[in-house]
Chains A and B, each alone.
Chain A
Amino acid sequence: GAGVSQSPSNKVTEKGKDVELRCDPISGHTALYWYRQSLGQGLEFLIYFQGNSAPDKSGLPSDRFSAERTGGSVSTLTIQRTQQEDSAVYLCASSLRGGAYTEAFFGQGTRLTVV
């Protein structure tokens, strides 16, 4: 596709369930980022993938959060045993090359609601 695609757009889950959020970056982009945006708040960095390098996981808030990127393309963010405080919009972005020197293109996000 032409842009970054995220699915689902909205997800409602029960507390304690696991959820998977998917991100399809722009083809050829080597860098991929996940951010969390709580209501009315800024973008909280979660994890950063760059090519074949080990991901920067320094932003993951707990061990319930994990992410993988298969084949240098699609990425999945998994939240285990969801809690109400996990409710937020999860944004994915990709950029053409290493580091953050080029424009990051964002998907429209997945709104996660934990009830």
Chain B
Amino acid sequence: AQTVTQSQPEMSVQEAETVTLSCTYDTSESDYYLFWYKQPPSRQMILVIRQEAYKQQNATENRFSVNFQKAAKSFSLKISDSQLGDAAMYFCAQGGQGNLIFGKGTKLSVKP
């Protein structure tokens, strides 16, 4: 069975600093994707970044990057130069042949 674990229920970062959110997963599939989604208070889920499991190169999207360790089944999200607008719930997700499974989320606070 697929599982996604986010071990940090809450994190806090100072504005302009860097923060890393952790995620581990377990799957028996050889071909899969990993995702980080952001959910602000508006409740709208927004895709932050996506990683294809067959790619060794870590994905980056502007201030957001991942550290994908396939053997360790680890997929952490690094947010650089944190901004007040980054404050939200962040969900890690894993998808493949079947459905899309989410972790329980990490609530990120950004201090001015």
Contacts and interface: CB of A to CB of B under 8 A. Distances in A.
Interface of A: 33, 35, 41-43, 45, 48, 56, 59, 89, 91, 93, 95, 98-101, 103-104, 106, 108-109
A101 B98 CA distance: 9
Interface residues of B, number: 24
Given A91-B45, A106-B44, A106-B45, A43 B102 contact: yes
Interface stretch (B13-21, B73-81, B89-97): B89-97
Main secondary structure of the interface of B (DSSP, over half): loop
Given A100-B33, A108-B44, A35 B102 contact: yes
Contacts of B35: 103-104
Most chain A beta carbons < 10 A, residue from B44, B45, B93, B104: B45
